[in-house]
Each structure stands twice: as structure tokens, then as C-alpha cells.
């Protein structure tokens, strides 16, 4: 009898692992906060260790969700041991695990890039970076609407600080708009959450999914209003037209490692829309089914058009990357709105591929800019403003050879990925999406929306080729006086790492598609999910009376 109680008292260690991606950056961020800038090496390595820890955790979670360690591939963690609809439930499934992995990989690249310069200006860069990671990871894991709001705010508050990193007039101007937009979006988030609570009486996503089906009449109408207002908040984050005007300015102004994380933040918006929409409005949700589907589909298409037009109209690389991110957001939203599980699989592959591509491009931009303005004069200014005592090592000693060749080849690879040309991952993603669009689930005719989406995807790829080529020709060929800039290994390595990942994604496309198909299958079966979350028992406390044998 006693023995039964003791064994059930201890939770399986693997379930605690679900909390690790949130707790690890929180702890490390808190430890880093009081350390002064004199310890910048220690700060960097602590931050690095935390990101490596996150990477290992994400890999372990993928292994456990996909390897049959947990029932239905979902691990549930009940925070503070409150049973599901009352407390906050965290859940790791295949989709959230792969998103955690993507976050850790991008963070690793961004952090490595900061080693030489960016991490040393501004005292709290690493602290804010860790809190940003905590917010992003939390948003991927939590399954409670209000807790999601909290993690969103953690993520945003850290990003406000990070966008300002390397304080200059341009960044301040971009931040003013970025912060104002996001504060307004946070208010919409609260209004939506409150309306949903008022109509369904719950904030737990699983419970919500179960209760939507029985809503009717006024309650249902009010619930739809709440869901639409809530969606506005996420779509602002995910930069759907006409809510995405803030994005290119902010991306172009932010320092490159920060911009890399911002790219991931737009994808957080798309991720939440995908998950919540399938939980609230999929086929099993009675009268509410299919609400807003067309808005997502056509809104996504308009976003593609807006992003493509923006790419054509700009000739600064930073803004071009911003518009590329908008195109990829638009494609994702249209894919979600199209409502076909096999298309979602390809869309997820596209999400990962395009995020990696735009991130690599953003890091590359700073290096390419040095061809035009040698010795990044602007950075020296900010260093002075912050009175950083030891100037960073001059990159001369351990520079990399053949810089021009490296820069132009890396640029070409980024262009291939963003435009979706063979042989890199962008092409595989587009091929997958076309395959899904040409083979509807019910075997019937392909709707007009499917054809128009395909046309838009092809056209946006063509426009990406044109604008990237224009930029490449001007920078590498038509720039006669260009001197090869000095690059440091720690700046080249992250770009190579991200490009290598893209090659790996292409080579391993089959197994990755298999995994994502299982992930897509999981989120398309809300009933199993609801049963898993609400059915998870709490751990009996030491004082509770054990049941009679």
C-alpha cells in the first residue's frame, strides 16, 4: 500500500522535461541580469550553454513524442498539479517539439553571431535574449489562453528591448511604431480572451475545444466575435495584410541577430492561428465549424501579393528580407485557411524552410553591407555611446579567406531558398504544397482557390528571383570599387550553419515530411487531444488518503 503511494508520487522525469524550455532561459536570464559587462565572456558562454540545453531538450522531446514514449505522442504537464480545466496545462506534441527545435537552432545561430560585437554593446543583451526565448518557448508549449497572453507579453517585452539594441535614431523610430502596434494588439488579445471566457466559461484550450460544439444562438455569435478579435491580435503578430505594415521597418532597423529572432516571432503568430483554429472551428465543432476560413485563405493570398509587391519596390536588403517574411507568412495563412491536412504538412515544411532561409539572409546582410560601408562605422559609434571599454578584437588575424566568393555564393543560396528554386529546401516545400493542392483529399476537382493559390506562389517566387537578382548584380558585379570586407569566423559560421541545415532538410526531406505528416495528423484530431489533456490525472499528494485497496 505504502509502496503504491510512493511510486505514484513521483512524476516520470520525462514529464518535467516539458517545463525545461521555459525554466532554463528564465533561470539563466535571471542569473545574467546582475552580472556587469566586465564579465561579458562568462555571460556569453552561460547564454550559449542555455541555448545548447534547449536544443538538447527539443531533440529529446521530439524523440519522446515521435518514439511512442507518450500515449498518442502527447506529453501533458499539469502546472502545480492542478487538474486540467482549472490549472494551466502545458503540452508537448510533435508540432510544438519541432517548433522548439526551430527556435533553439535559430537562437544558436543568432547568439553565435553576437559573439564578436553585438553581444558586447548594451549591458542586458543576453538577459533579454534569454527572456525572449522563454516567451517563445512558452507560447509553443502552453495550452491555456491567458497563460498564452502572459508568454506573448514576456516575448514582446523582451523584443522591445532587443529591437532598441544598438540604440540609434532609426531603431528608436522603428521601436516607437513597433511598441505602439503591439500594445494595441495586446489589448485586442485581452478583449478576445475575455469574450471567449464570458461565453464558454473556460480558458483551457482543450476544454474550450470540447465546449464550442454545444454553443448556439447569442452565445455562439459573441464567441465568434471574441475569436475574431483574438485572431486580429495573432494576425498582427503574423503580419497579415493589412496588419503587417510595421514589419519591414522594424526588421530593417533591428540588429541582425535580433531580426533573426523577430522572423521566428511572426511564425509564432501563424503557429497559434493554426493550432487554435483547428481546435475551435474544425469539422467537429458543430455550428461554429469553418468560421473565418475564407478570411484566412483570402487574407493570406492578399498578404502574398502585398509582400511580393514590396519586394519589387525596395532596394534595401533589410526591407527585402522583411517583405520575404511577409510573403512566407501569407503563404502559411492561406495554407491554414485552405483546410486540407496534407497541405498543412507541406506548409509546416515551408514554415521551417523559409524561416531558416530568411534568418540566414538577415545575418548575411550585415556582412554584405560591409562591402559598401567598410568597418561598420555605425557600430563604432554606438560602442562609443555606450563607452564599452575594451574594443572588440579586430577581425584581421583570424579572418576567412575568399570573402567575396563566400558572400556571393551564400547570397545565391539564400536567394534560391527564398525564391523556391531547386535544389534547396524552398523548392521541396513548394513542390510539396503543389502536390497537395493538385491532389485534393476527397479526390474531386481542384477549386478555383487552389489554382489561384498556386499561381500566387509561383508569381511570388518569380518576383523574389527578380528582386534578389537585382540586388545581387548591383552588389557583387556592378560594384567595381568593392573591396573584400573582413569577416570573422564567428560571423561566417552561423550563416554556414543555417545554409547547411537547409541542405540537410533537402536531403532528409522524406523523413522530415513523414514526421510533419504525423504532426499534422495530431492537430487534426482534436478529440484525442481533448481526451488526453482533460484525462491526465494529478499526482496524489502525500497527505491525500489513498484509495482503499
Partner 1 sequence: MELIISLAIGIVFGSGIWLVLRPRSFQVLSGLMLMSYAVNLFIFVMGRLWVDAAPLTPPGTTPDPAQLADPLPQALVLTAIVIGFATTALYLVVMIGSRGLTGTDHVDGKEPEV
Q: Which residues sit at the interface with partner 1, rule CB under 8 A?
A: 146, 149-150, 153, 156-157, 160-161, 164, 167-169, 172-173, 175-177, 179-180, 183-184, 186-187, 190-191, 193-195, 197-198, 203
CB 30 to partner 1: min, Å: 16
| 399 beta partners | 488
Nearer to partner 1, 164 or 463 (CB): 164
Nearer to partner 1, 60 or 150 (CB): 150
Q: How many CB atoms lie within 10 A of CB 481?
A: 5
CB 84 to partner 1: min, Å: 15
Nearer to partner 1, 193 or 475 (CB): 193
CB 248 to partner 1: min, Å: 15
CB 160 to partner 1: min, Å: 6
Nearer to partner 1, 218 or 390 (CB): 218
Cα distance between residue 538 and residue 159, in whole Å: 35
CB 191 to partner 1: min, Å: 6
CB 260 to partner 1: min, Å: 22
Cα distance between residue 282 and residue 525, in whole Å: 9
For 401-507, where are the alpha helices, taking DSSP H only?
A: 403-419, 425-438, 448-472, 489-507
Nearer to partner 1, 47 or 200 (CB): 200
Let me know how many helices (H) and strands (E) the chain has, helices first.
22, 2
| 142 beta partners | 90
| H or E element, residue 56 | helix 40-66
Residue 282 DSSP SS3: coil
Cα distance between residue 424 and residue 428, in whole Å: 7
Nearer to partner 1, 167 or 497 (CB): 167
CB 51 to partner 1: min, Å: 25
Nearer to partner 1, 113 or 251 (CB): 251
Cα distance between residue 440 and residue 114, in whole Å: 46
Q: Which residues contact 208 (CB under 8 A, 6 or more apart)?
A: 145, 196, 200, 202, 279, 280
CB 264 within 8 Å of CB 296 = no
Cα distance between residue 440 and residue 8, in whole Å: 47
Nearer to partner 1, 186 or 302 (CB): 186
Nearer to partner 1, 146 or 386 (CB): 146
Nearer to partner 1, 113 or 131 (CB): 131
CB 185 to partner 1: min, Å: 11
Q: Which residues contact 213 (CB under 8 A, 6 or more apart)?
A: 284, 285, 286, 288
Cα distance between residue 325 and residue 361, in whole Å: 11
CB 218 to partner 1: min, Å: 15
The backbone region for 302, taken as left when phi is positive above 0, alpha when psi lies in -120 to 50, beta otherwise, is: alpha
CB 304 within 8 Å of CB 456 = yes
| H or E element, residue 91 | strand 89-92
CB 212 to partner 1: min, Å: 17
Half-sphere exposure of 110 (CA within 13 A, CB side): 31
Nearer to partner 1, 110 or 196 (CB): 196
End-to-end CA, the chain: 8
CB 395 to partner 1: min, Å: 29
C-alpha cell at 509: 526531406
Cα distance between residue 344 and residue 274, in whole Å: 9
CB 176 to partner 1: min, Å: 6
Residue 90 DSSP SS3: strand
Cα distance between residue 227 and residue 527, in whole Å: 20
Nearer to partner 1, 74 or 188 (CB): 188
Cα distance between residue 448 and residue 97, in whole Å: 35
Nearer to partner 1, 186 or 309 (CB): 186
CB 151 to partner 1: min, Å: 11
| H or E element, residue 76 | strand 75-78
Eight-state DSSP code of residue 71: G
Amino acid at each position: 500500500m505504502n509502496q503504491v503511494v510512493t511510486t505514484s508520487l513521483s512524476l516520470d522525469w520525462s514529464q518535467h522535461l516539458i517545463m525545461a524550455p521555459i525554466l532554463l532561459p528564465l533561470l539563466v536570464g535571471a542569473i545574467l541580469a546582475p552580472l556587469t559587462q566586465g564579465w561579458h565572456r562568462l555571460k556569453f558562454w552561460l547564454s550559449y550553454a542555455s541555448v545548447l540545453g534547449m536544443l538538447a531538450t527539443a531533440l529529446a522531446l521530439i524523440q519522446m513524442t515521435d518514439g511512442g514514449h507518450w500515449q498518442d505522442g502527447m506529453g501533458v504537464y499539469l502546472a502545480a498539479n492542478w487538474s486540467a480545466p482549472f490549472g494551466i496545462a502545458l503540452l508537448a506534441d510533435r508540432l510544438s517539439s519541432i517548433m522548439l527545435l526551430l527556435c533553439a537552432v535559430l537562437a544558436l545561430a543568432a547568439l553565435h553571431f553576437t559573439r564578436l560585437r553585438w553581444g558586447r554593446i548594451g549591458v542586458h543583451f543576453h538577459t533579454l535574449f534569454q527572456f525572449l526565448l522563454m516567451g517563445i518557448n512558452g507560447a509553443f508549449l502552453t495550452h491555456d489562453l491567458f497563460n498564452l497572453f502572459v508568454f506573448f507579453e514576456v516575448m514582446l517585452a523582451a523584443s522591445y528591448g532587443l529591437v532598441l539594441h544598438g540604440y540609434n535614431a532609426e531603431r528608436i523610430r522603428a521601436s516607437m511604431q513597433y511598441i505602439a502596434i503591439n500594445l494595441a494588439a495586446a489589448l485586442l488579445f485581452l478583449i478576445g480572451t475575455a469574450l471567449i471566457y464570458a461565453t464558454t466559461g473556460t480558458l483551457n484550450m482543450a476544454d474550450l475545444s470540447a465546449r464550442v460544439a454545444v454553443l448556439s444562438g447569442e452565445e455562439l455569435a459573441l464567441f465568434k466575435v471574441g475569436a475574431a478579435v483574438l485572431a486580429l491580435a495573432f494576425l498582427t503578430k503574423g503580419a497579415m495584410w493589412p496588419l503587417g505594415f510595421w514589419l519591414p521597418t522594424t526588421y530593417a532597423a533591428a540588429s541582425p541577430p535580433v531580426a533573426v529572432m523577430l522572423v521566428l516571432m511572426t511564425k509564432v503568430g501563424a503557429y497559434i492561428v493554426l493550432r487554435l483554429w483547428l481546435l475551435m472551428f474544425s469539422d467537429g465543432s458543430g455550428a461554429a465549424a469553418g468560421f473565418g476560413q475564407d478570411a484566412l485563405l483570402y487574407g493570406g493570398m492578399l498578404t502574398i501579393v502585398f509582400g511580393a509587391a514590396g519586394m519589387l519596390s525596395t532596394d534595401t536588403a533589410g526591407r527585402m528580407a522583411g517583405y520575404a517574411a511577409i510573403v512566407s507568412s501569407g503563404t502559411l495563412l492561406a495554407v491554414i485557411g485552405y483546410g486540407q491536412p496534407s497541405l498543412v504538412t507541406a506548409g509546416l515544411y515551408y514554415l521551417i524552410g523559409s524561416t531558416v532561409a530568411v534568418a540566414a539572409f538577415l545575418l548575411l546582410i550585415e556582412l554584405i553591407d560591409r562591402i559598401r560601408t567598410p568597418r561598420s562605422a555605425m557600430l563604432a559609434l554606438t560602442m562609443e555611446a555606450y563607452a564599452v571599454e575594451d574594443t572588440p578584437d579586430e577581425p584581421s588575424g583570424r579572418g576567412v579567406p575568399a570573402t567575396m566568393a563566400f558572400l556571393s555564393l551564400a547570397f545565391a543560396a539564400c536567394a534560391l531558398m527564398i525564391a523556391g528554386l531547386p535544389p534547396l529546401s524552398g523548392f521541396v516545400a513548394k513542390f510539396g504544397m503543389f502536390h497537395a493542392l493538385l491532389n485534393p483529399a476527397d479526390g474531386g476537382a481542384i477549386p478555383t482557390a487552389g489554382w489561384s493559390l498556386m499561381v500566387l506562389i509561383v508569381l511570388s517566387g518569380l518576383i523574389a528571383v527578380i528582386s534578389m537578382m537585382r540586388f545581387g548584380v548591383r552588389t557583387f558585379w556592378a560594384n567595381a570599387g568593392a573591396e573584400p570586407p573582413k569577416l570573422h569566423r564567428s560571423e561566417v559560421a552561423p550563416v554556414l550553419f543555417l545554409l547547411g541545415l537547409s541542405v540537410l532538410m533537402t536531403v532528409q526531406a522524406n523523413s522530415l515530411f513523414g514526421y510533419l505528416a504525423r504532426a499534422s495528423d495530431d492537430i487534426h484530431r482534436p478529440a484525442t487531444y481533448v481526451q488526453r489533456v482533460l484525462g491526465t490525472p494529478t499526482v496524489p499528494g502525500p497527505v491525500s488518503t489513498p484509495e482503499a485497496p
